[in-house]
A and B are shown apart, each in its own frame.
Chain A
Amino acid sequence: MINIITALHCEAKPVIDFFRLKEFNSTNGLRVFANDDICLAVGGIGKSCTIASTAYMHGLSKGSANTAWLNMGIAGHNSHALGKGFLVNKITDAESGQNWYPVMPGGLKIPSEKLVTVTKPEGQYPHGPLYDMEASGFFSTAARFTTVELIHCFKVVSDNSSHPANTITKSMVIDLIGGQLSTIKQVIDYMRTLSAEAISAGAEPIEYRMLLDRWNFSAYQKHELKKCLRRIEMIDHIHTALSPEILALDNAGDVIKHLNTLIASFPMRISI
């Protein structure tokens, strides 16, 4: 699953159209579009709007720690040409001076640039970074919900010292983002793959839910149950925890005792 956070509908439109996202669950000030595995929020300009929409989307995705996150939108730069797209490799918050470092993907030949998040539109474009108003709020919030490898910012240059921010129009933004759709798709495909890898590594043991449904486990017992089932899966791929003996047990405590006895009976060596 990928969550995409944008500030403006004109930034989102090309992606909404390309991936055929349908609007749903929109609230006051926050529009949400989705298909089976992409969810996109248009949350408004600025850090506080971005923080709110990121947190909202985390709730919508049921708090999954393996969801990938993408902040996509426009940014200014001193000299880069309009329409050029960049993955952000360093985010600095102009207010606090704090830095975040997205993990640059290997194998994707996409230009990258550092970025500064400002509270007001940057009119002077001091040399070096891109300028936006959302990335630091987005990244700092998303990093509470997932690991940094699954969080990226992709920005398309919409204004520079020759074409300042007051020349930007909605249709221009749609065209600029639309011009980078193939790159955006590359980024999304990459993040999908990474998210899937994270999900498969963190998957629950196969019988976990079945056992939870059958007996009442305390929070501690759930933790122990997962450990036992993981151990059984690790050591003996053939063996199943769902035996007639276990199904005949009365309570969660007996189940965990039984599983520990089972584990102790396995020859503790790997087969090569």
Chain B
Amino acid sequence: MFSSIYVEHDIMNHPRVSEICRRYPNSHIIECTHYGEIFNRRSQNFRLQKNNPSLILARKNNKRVMETPISYGLGGKNNFYFSHMLNCFYDCRYCFLQGMYRSAFYVLFVNYEDFMIDIDTAIKDTNDECYFFSGYDCDSLAFEPVSLFTESFLPFFSRYPNSWLELRTKSTQIRSLLQRDPINNCIVAYSLSPSIIADKIENKAPSLENRLAAIQKLQMLGWRVGLRFDPIILVSDYQSLYAEFFREVFSVVNPDTLHSVTLGEFRLPTAFHANMTKLFPEEPLFGTVTQTSKNVVTYSLDTGTQLMDYCRQLVLQYVPESQLFTQGSA
């Protein structure tokens, strides 16, 4: 699957590295000093690389657990994110990653134990309920068969019942979850869009139908599920499209094990939007947003307010206000 796997020199003998390289016997294994030599170098074309991304195996040495932006959360006071992986298997045209990173290669940080130490420290330092979001820079589950991320982190988080782990995903790679007992403090949060939007701009991602089927399976086994309607995209006749979409979703989702629902309109940091427009000058989506504040490009105030108010009213027909959160600027 990967024509090349780059491995940092210092972790060539790491057990996770050995196991992953064993899975890809036909890949060229190329030693590097630091993942940034490849991932952060100038003069890269994200769009060209996305056709055939390589894998980089690395160690994350610092800034493993970070506080989320202020507007990002599920009602908790202490919100953190950690990224065991950079870049996503899917190719959603609205995704900020293509504007943020120079490279489309996947980076997998194999030193999970160091992440756990830092998470433990954050929990002890706050001495209060904490939320840890794992799908900020990647899809939490898409690479699971290789990364074994949940196999490592679910047992870890089961030791901290007062802290939450959110797995943000579009993936149907849920076997590892189906094969174990659910833990009460894990939210499997699915990003969902209407089929017609998903088919057009969520390239390589499972269909809405398949994601809903995965949600059903998880809920049947008792996993707490989250629904992430983010981004909400402004399309012609969005009123009937989103009305039908929410009806479809909530006809499938069991409200008893639904943890939370979030709504967020399409938004990008200004610099990321500029990069994405250069990469995809033909993409109409990027032409529909405008600079609304110093750092953010989104729908104009009136349009955005109308869109979000409408969607919010629709969702409140299905969930109580206490379960609904609006995500702000990226």
Within 8 A of B (CB), among A27-50: none
User: In this assembly, does A118 line the interface, its C-beta being within 8 Å of a C-beta of chain B?
Assistant: no
Contact status B3-A106, CB under 8 Å: yes
Give A12 to B285 CA distance when docked, in angstroms: 47
B209 CB, min distance to chain A CBs, angstroms = 17
Which residues of chain B come closer than 8 Å to A231, judged between CB atoms?
287
Contact status B43-A201, CB under 8 Å: no
Give A114 to B29 CA distance when docked, in angstroms: 10
Which residues of chain A come closer than 8 Å to B238, judged between CB atoms?
269
Total interface residues on A, CB under 8 Å, equals: 36
Give A101 to B290 CA distance when docked, in angstroms: 37
Contact with B along A125-147 (1 / 0, CB 8 A): 00000000000000000011011
Give A14 to B256 CA distance when docked, in angstroms: 72
Contact status B48-A270, CB under 8 Å: no
Contact status A149-B234, CB under 8 Å: no
Partner of B286, one of A143, A144, A234: A234
Which residues of chain B come closer than 8 Å to A104, judged between CB atoms?
3-4, 28, 54
Known: A268-B303, A272-B196. A99 touches B281 (CB 8 A): no
Give A89 to B27 CA distance when docked, in angstroms: 12
Give A233 to B278 CA distance when docked, in angstroms: 13
User: In this assembly, does A183 line the interface, its C-beta being within 8 Å of a C-beta of chain B?
Assistant: no
Give A201 to B49 CA distance when docked, in angstroms: 13
Which residues of chain A come closer than 8 Å to B47, judged between CB atoms?
197, 201
Known: A230-B277, A270-B235. A198 touches B45 (CB 8 A): yes
A67 CB, min distance to chain B CBs, angstroms = 13
Contact with B along A84-95 (1 / 0, CB 8 A): 000001100000
Partner of A101, one of B32, B282, B286, B287: B32
Which residues of chain A come closer than 8 Å to B203, judged between CB atoms?
none
Known: A89-B4, A147-B44, A231-B287. A99 touches B280 (CB 8 A): no
User: In this assembly, does B22 line the interface, its C-beta being within 8 Å of a C-beta of chain A?
Assistant: no
Which residues of chain B come closer than 8 Å to A202, judged between CB atoms?
278, 281
User: In this assembly, does B41 line the interface, its C-beta being within 8 Å of a C-beta of chain A?
Assistant: yes
Contact status A269-B51, CB under 8 Å: no
Contact status A269-B288, CB under 8 Å: yes
Known: A270-B235, A271-B235, A272-B236. A147 touches B282 (CB 8 A): no
Partner of B37, one of A101, A107, A149, A230: A101
Which residues of chain B come closer than 8 Å to A150, judged between CB atoms?
45, 48
Contact status A99-B236, CB under 8 Å: no
User: In this assembly, does B299 line the interface, its C-beta being within 8 Å of a C-beta of chain A?
Assistant: yes
Within 8 A of B (CB), among A231-258: 231, 233-235
Interface residues on B, range: 35 or more
Which residues of chain B come closer than 8 Å to A197, judged between CB atoms?
47-48
Which residues of chain B come closer than 8 Å to A149, judged between CB atoms?
44-45, 48-49
Which residues of chain A come closer than 8 Å to B288, judged between CB atoms?
235, 268-270
User: In this assembly, does B138 line the interface, its C-beta being within 8 Å of a C-beta of chain A?
Assistant: no
Give A202 to B279 CA distance when docked, in angstroms: 8
Partner of B33, one of A99, A147, A234: A99
User: In this assembly, does B52 line the interface, its C-beta being within 8 Å of a C-beta of chain A?
Assistant: yes
Question: A194: nearest residue on chain B (CB-CB)?
Answer: B48
Which residues of chain A come closer than 8 Å to B49, judged between CB atoms?
103, 149
Question: A235: nearest residue on chain B (CB-CB)?
Answer: B287
B283 CB, min distance to chain A CBs, angstroms = 6
Give A97 to B82 CA distance when docked, in angstroms: 33
Question: A107: nearest residue on chain B (CB-CB)?
Answer: B52
Within 8 A of B (CB), among A77-123: 89-90, 99, 101, 103-107, 112, 114
Within 8 A of B (CB), among A167-216: 194, 197-198, 201-203, 205
Known: A101-B38, A112-B28. A234 touches B284 (CB 8 A): yes
Known: A201-B279, A268-B234. A89 touches B287 (CB 8 A): no
Contact status B30-A201, CB under 8 Å: no
Question: B290: nearest residue on chain A (CB-CB)?
Answer: A268
Which residues of chain A come closer than 8 Å to B277, judged between CB atoms?
230
User: In this assembly, does B133 line the interface, its C-beta being within 8 Å of a C-beta of chain A?
Assistant: no
User: In this assembly, does A148 line the interface, its C-beta being within 8 Å of a C-beta of chain B?
Assistant: yes
Contact status B52-A101, CB under 8 Å: no
Contact with A along B96-116 (1 / 0, CB 8 A): 000000000000000000000
14 more A-B residue pairs beyond the given contacts A101-B30, A148-B44, with a C-beta to C-beta distance below 8 A: A89-B28, A104-B4, A104-B54, A143-B42, A148-B43, A149-B45, A198-B45, A201-B279, A201-B281, A202-B281, A233-B281, A234-B282, A234-B286, A272-B236
